[in-house]
Structure 1
Amino acid sequence: MTDAVILETRALTKEFKGFVAVSQVNLKVQRGSIHALIGPNGAGKTTCFNLLTKFLTPTSGQILFDGHDITAETPAHIARRGVIRSFQISSVFPHLTVLENVRVALQRHLGSSFQFWRSERSLDSLNDKAMALLAQVDLDKYAALTAVELSYGRKRALEIATTLAMEPKLMLLDEPTQGMGLEDVDRIKQLIKKVAASRTVLMVEHNMSVVASIADTITVLQRGATLAEGPYEQVSKNPAVIEAYMGSANTELKGAH
């Protein structure tokens, strides 16, 4: 495994009672890149994410991160190594302020997340860092609002800020633009490009225009196996990929140039 590769899977496989959800996937994610995992519904993308973060245990195969075999490690160990996942459904605390949400994530990173009896003042030292993270995702002016008052797109931006608070080396983004209008999609797309400038991003994403405009490398899964891999220009012209998407998704694939 070269220094250029931050994450690698070797013949990664997951079976559920005879059904092969992920089959012999060999993935190489380059350090400092945006790598997209795409494919039709049921292709195994989310299962693959669950294997990488150890929410599921592989049936066979290996996962290597930063040169270490992490196949047998717990989710907590993997998170401590810097593999941090942002979930498909927005997972912020709705009745805490935007600032407090990021502060909770910073506490978690400091290992003090369960010390709820500490005085409010003792957490003030985290405010500057929390505000700096909010500025990174253009939410600093919303710091005093409760999270429930944010638009859906800004909630996802807040979720990215809380993910950044965990100091990820590799950010796993699960459908970051799902359910968004065009304006929010564009905001999150620009945000992903911005945060990827100093770290690696692996994302599952359905929106082909997002993938086409920001992903350096795309891996296409079909029925749990790798169908194609490469830059968007190459993958979008692959006959097997076009056939796999068919119908409306195929139109999306062509329309994303």
Structure 2
Amino acid sequence: MTQEFVLETRGLTKEFRGFTAVDDVNLKVREGHIHALIGPNGAGKTTVFNLLTKFLPPTRGEILYRGKPITGMRANDIARLGLVRSFQISAVFAHMTALENVRVALQRRLGTSFHFWKSERSLEPLNDQALALLDQVGLKDYADVLTVEMPYGRKRALEVATTLALDPAVMLLDEPTQGMGAEDVDRIVELIRRVSEGRTVLMVEHNLSVVSRLCDRITVLARGSILAEGDYAAVSTDPRVREAYMGSEAGETEEAGA
């Protein structure tokens, strides 16, 4: 039944002047699962994310959230429904503190982001909630640190905190461990596992070690189409998946997960 799936696509297709980036993708994300989109470079993973969150309009196909069509909705309305995404590049404010970044996200949820005439003191009631979110992602000691001065892995954790501030039902994480060393990767894996409790996560991820440790289900894309689906054991032994990765990032990913 459709109600089993919090997020679903039917025949989702995106064409750019004759080039098909996403081709007839039928994705089904179960409520409460951590679901990964993987595939070689250029497979269409981030384009799928952009379609789901309305940063791009589809050429054809349908997107459903909790069984209801959302294909024609705007990006901000999608976020209000509870579908909130992060990006490959950290999207926090570099010259604001960690606390201020989370507070801005809380303001957005309250609908007061553009109340410029109010003094900063009016935002103080949000401080306790912002500190609680920072504590949740292991950043309470960084509350007063400017984001530009924070290590890269901590910035990505801060981005998770700002995403949580919007109270998402579905978190869409675009390559959350990209560019990280092993210690930061381990920290982010535990963070995602912790914050996924009570919500659904859909993530694009290159590091197969991360996927194997976190994900309930995996969808493999190749040339814009779904190549394989299943749990990690099934997908990692699928000859088609091995062939798709061969000569691309498969070796790099295995080394990253070693």
TM category, shorter: over 0.9
Task: State the alpha-carbon separation in 2 of the partners of residues 66 and 133 from structure 1.
Answer: 27
Partner of 1:78: 78
Count, aligned residues: 257
Any conservation in 1 of the 2:41–2:249 contact (CA below 8 Å)?
no
2 CA distance for matches of 1:144 and 1:222? 44
Q: Does residue 1:29 correspond to 2:29, yes or no?
A: yes
Letter in 2 for 1:220: V
CA contact (8 A) 2:11 2:60 kept: yes
What residue number does 1:185 align with? 185
C-alpha deviations, 1:124-165, integer Å up to 9, x for none? Answer: 110111011111101011101111111000000000000000
Paired with 1:80 and 1:238, the residues of 2 have a C-alpha distance of 38
Distance 2:158 2:138 in 1: 9
Q: What does residue 60 of structure 1 align with?
A: 60
Matched, 1:132 2:101: no
Cα shift readout 1:173-196 (whole Å, capped 9, x = no counterpart): 001000111111110111000011
Structure 1's consecutive aligned runs of 4 or more residues displaced over 3 angstroms after TM superposition are 247-257
Match of 1:149 in 2: 149
Which amino acid is 1:191 matched to? Answer: L
Q: Which amino acid aligns with 1:52?
A: L
**Equivalences for residues 226-245 of structure 1 within 5 A:** 226-245=226-245
1:106 aligns with 2:106: yes
Query: TM-score by structure 1 length?
Result: 0.97
Q: Given that residues 11 and 61 in structure 2 are in contact (C-alpha distance below 8 angstroms), is that contact kept between their aligned partners in structure 1? A: yes
| Sequence identity (%) | 66
Show structure 2 runs of 5+ residues with no match: none
Q: Residue in 1 aligned with 2:7?
A: 7
User: Partner of 1:126: helix, strand, or coil?
Assistant: helix
- Distance in structure 2 (CA, Å) of the matches to 1:79 and 1:250: 33
Measure, in 1, the Cα distance between the counterparts of 2:254 and 2:142: 38
Contact 1:236 1:253 in 2 (8 A): no
Structure 1 runs not aligned, ≥5 long: none
| Superposed displacement of residue 120, structure 1 | 1.6
TM-score calculated relative to the size of structure 2: 0.96
Judge conservation of contact 2:8–2:29 (CA < 8 Å) in 1: yes
Aligned residue type for 1:5: F
CA displacement, residues 93-138 of structure 1 (integer Å, 9 cap, x when unaligned): 1111110000000001111101122112211110111011111101
1:68 is aligned with what amino acid?
K
